[in-house]
Chain A
Amino acid sequence: MRPAAFALAGILAIASGAPAASPPAVGTGIEAPRGAQLSGPELDKRTEDIGALLRCPVCQGLSVADSPATMARNMKAEVREKLAKGYDQEQILAYFERSYGEFVRLDPPMRGVNWLVWFGPLAVLLAGGAVIAWVMRRSRRQAGATEPREVAIAAPADSDPPSRDTVPADPRLAAAVRRVRMLAYGWPQGVPPKAAS
């Protein structure tokens, strides 16, 4: 990944939300430049940043910043020229969107049903957290009803001889057995290691 693109991603963390919404500029041209005129390394960096947000129309999913295609290089030169004149990011993106449509923006702007791609994951995170909380509460309720067992490998029927995977049914005896195993074999908390087959 390009460092500029990742830095942009880092800065635009979820907390800061989606890029600002604005409809594509109508009229015969975009308005007067809104930002400061750039030059030098700042200009290079911003060209890469904005290039990473534009899709190369003749490539398969590559950004204008990454693509070696002639069209992409021309678009990048156009971005650079507009940055030097002082247009800001939204104006430049709107310029290309005017010609190519919303398709050319790699970062979906907040428009129409696009909010779903931004808030969907957040909703899943919150819903998942709620499910975990509910599972925990249900588990606690079950614990209140039955005697808690630390190791869930169920004791077999009494007629079976004890083995390394089982503990006696009696809890005090079970605790003693576990302690012996911890001291004798080094099993953490007396639980047989996962390699037990």
Chain B
Amino acid sequence: MVPILGRILILLALLAASAGALVGFATGMRPNAAGWKWARRLAYAFAAFMVLANLTMEYALLTHDFSVSYVAHVGSRRVPTWVSIVSLWSSLEGSILFWGLVMGVYIAVATSRNANRHPEYMPYAVGVWLACGAFFSFLLAGPAQPFATVPNPALDGPGPNPLLQNHYLMVIHPPFLYSGYVGMTIPFGLACAALLVGRLGNDFIRPLRNFLLLSWIFLTCAIVLGGWWAYEVLGWGGYWAWDPVENASFLPWLTATAALHSALLVERKGVLKGWTVVLVLATYLLTILGTFMTRSGVFNSVHSFTQSAIGPTILVFLAAALVFSLVLLALRVDTLGAEGRLETGPSRDVIFLVQNLLFVLFTFTVLLGTVFPLVVEAVRGVQMSVGRPYFDRMSVPVGVALLFVMGVGPALPWGRATAQQMRSALLPPLLSALLLAIAGLVLGVRNPWTLLALFFGGFTAQVTLSEMFLPVRQRMRSHGERFAEAFRQAQVRGRRRFGAYVVHAGAILAIVSIAVSSTMGSSKEVQLNKGESSTLGPYTLTFVQAEQVTDPHRESVQARVDISKNGRSLGALYPRMSQYENQREQIGSPAVRSSLTEDLYVSIHNIDSASVGLLVLINPMVSWIWIATAIMALGGLVALVPSLRGAAATAPGPVPATPIAIEGSP
């Protein structure tokens, strides 16, 4: 009963999406109110069917209905309820179903927000969105069917991958990731609509930029949550290994960030329209490439879902999307027409271009490194690896360069800067730069790249703080307002700018924290007998005893390790080695004691009742990375919220003399 219901819902979603795509494109070519009405209805229908299909699957998971193939694959009666809920996105077919859910919700929201706006563009946009929706529905209806009927359902199932049951982060990382990843479909549709219509005005760049920013916020959080999860769960002590699937999530983030900045130039000066559209298209295509990398089994990765048949199908969709985008660009990018002119001398404009170049370079490098083993296999027939040493070496200079331009750009004015302006803009922040670098030297930093990161970090921090409060200072000067009032007024008028600088502040903190945590840590591997101690830095660790812990789905051996710092006791840490049912290998869980200055990280290599082999790490400033990400997300929200509210409050400008605006009715 349930499998059939699920299959029907997916087929209905496929029908709604296919029909809606056709109606959308037809309405775009020949605008009319009825067409737009039906396109909207089909979009909402697609969303509704996807939501219902997901609810059906959750119901099956929670009731342990093993006649549903996906539940037979990942369900289990012996796991906690939250694990059952989370199993929806834990494995291949379920995660595509979840993809469909997020896509449905996004399409519904984007359609309803723009139901009465941008009439020439929206039908095309809905057409593109529903075409993508149709593909994913097709995947679910065919190669990745989660609702197949199992003829003789078992009484119980294996449960999801134990690594995914290890930590609560599994609950939020995938939803954030999909909200970011799938959300990039919306700007993609809007950009395609702009190309199809042949125009990209300031009015339309706004929803494009807003949805790009919304997805960007989710994706930023998701990437760092993934890193945090790797740090807390995998036990090797780091948070980023340049694994192909990690790179898959990072690549669209890079182009999306570049697109957000380039969209700013479109709005201010009416230039770089074609380039912004290229970046937005590339972002979406990279998400499809990313999903191929994760699911095709072609890449050697920690995350790899098992090899599946849907790899070639996704590759076909990727090829089709690439061809579509290329043809559209080749035919229409010239019609987007610049309205203004880029400043050629030293100015913020030039820095924007340099920044975009750096992001593109970063994207290219990470993509090249990830795909390169496949290239070599095809050309030389040799299997080789491109691992962390390569990526670290390449990304450090680019990251530091980005930190630098993040400081120089906002310091320079928009127009051509005179020598005098440049001096007064660029010299004062050198003070903070020197202070931070010297502080680093005093605290023992010797790595040249880290020192450079500190230097530029100080420079950029001063510029960012100064620019953040510039409108406030100007109001205080010209209106005589006190700080609080000036701040409030500046917020009302310039919240987007303020939010952007908050994001920059978070980015500076993140880059500096990453630099410090990568180079200033220390580590030790030690074998301790019961009662024995060892020291690392100011910490003393004592292995007290090994304890057995039994959970319904796993057996663990836990080591109690007492910690003291400079003589003062800090309690105990409990790293664990767990044996899950149905898994041969044991899985270790590290124990981390975080503070603002540093993390003490302990993980088990081997354990028995008499002794334990420990890996002990001191990782400085890691907590600041998580805090910095929260700041970036907050800044993004601050920048996003007034635009959403403002767009709803202000009526559209003078009514354009086109028939659609008059005919169109909700």
Indicate yes or no for A touching B, C-beta below 8 A: yes
Q: Which of A105, A125, A143 has the most CB of B within 10 A?
A: A125
Whether the Cβ atoms of B344 and A112 lie closer than 8 Å is no
* Per-residue interface assignment for chain B, residues 637 to 664, with 1 indicating a CB less than 8 Å from any chain A CB and 0 otherwise: 0000011001100100010000000000
Contacts of A188 in B (CB 8 A): 413, 470-471, 474
Give Cα distance in the complex from A191 to B494, angstroms.
12
Contact A9 B369, CB 8 Å, known A128-B361, A152-B270: no
Do A189 and B415 touch (CB < 8 A)?
yes
* Chain B neighbourhood of A52, CB < 8 A: 388-389
Residue of A at shortest CB range from B520?
A3
A6 touches B392 (CB 8 A): yes
A94→B342 CA distance, assembly (Å): 53
Could you tell me if A142 and B341 are in contact, using CB atoms closer than 8 angstroms?
yes
Complex contacts, A37 vs chain B, CB 8 Å: none
Which residues of B342-394 have CB atoms within 8 Å of chain A's CB atoms? 342-344, 350, 353-354, 357, 360-361, 364-365, 368-369, 372, 375-376, 379-380, 382-390, 392-394
Kindly state the separation between the CA atoms of A61 and B369 in the bound complex, as whole angstroms: 13
Q: Within 8 Å CB of A105, what residues of B? A: 384-385
Which chain A residues (141-173) contact chain B, with CB distance < 8 Å? Answer: 142-143, 146, 148-154, 160
* C-alpha spacing A150/B349, complex, angstroms: 12
- Decide yes or no whether A136 CB sits under 8 A from chain B: yes
- Whether a CB of chain A sits under 8 angstroms from the CB of B588 is yes
Contact B605 A73 (CB under 8 A): yes
Interface bits A1-23 vs B (CB < 8 Å: 1, else 0): 11101111110111000000000
- The binding surface of chain B is classed by DSSP as helix
Count chain A residues whose beta carbon lies closer than 8 angstroms to a beta carbon of B: 72
What is the bound-complex CA distance between A124 and B356, given in angstroms? 13
B443 to chain A, nearest CB (A): 14
User: Is A114 a contact partner of B605 (Cβ separation < 8 A)?
Assistant: no
CA distance A116 to B382 in the complex (A): 15
How many whole Å from B208's CB to the nearest CB in chain A? 14
Across-interface contacts of A184 in B (CB, < 8 A): 478
A24 to B235, CA, bound (A): 33
**A108-B372, A136-B353, A186-B475 known, 8 other contacts, Cβ within 8 Å:** A3-B523, A9-B389, A10-B447, A12-B389, A68-B603, A106-B386, A106-B388, A197-B646
Residues on A lying within 8 angstroms of B by beta carbon are: 1-3, 5-10, 12-14, 48, 52-53, 55, 60-63, 66-68, 73, 101-108, 112-114, 116-117, 120-121, 124-125, 128-129, 131-132, 135-137, 139-140, 142-143, 146, 148-154, 160, 183-186, 188-189, 191, 193-195, 197
A/B interface sample: 26 pairs, CB < 8 A: A3-B520, A6-B447, A7-B447, A12-B393, A14-B394, A55-B387, A61-B244, A66-B237, A68-B236, A104-B385, A106-B388, A108-B372, A121-B365, A124-B360, A124-B364, A129-B357, A139-B342, A151-B268, A152-B271, A152-B341, A154-B270, A186-B471, A186-B490, A193-B497, A195-B643, A197-B650
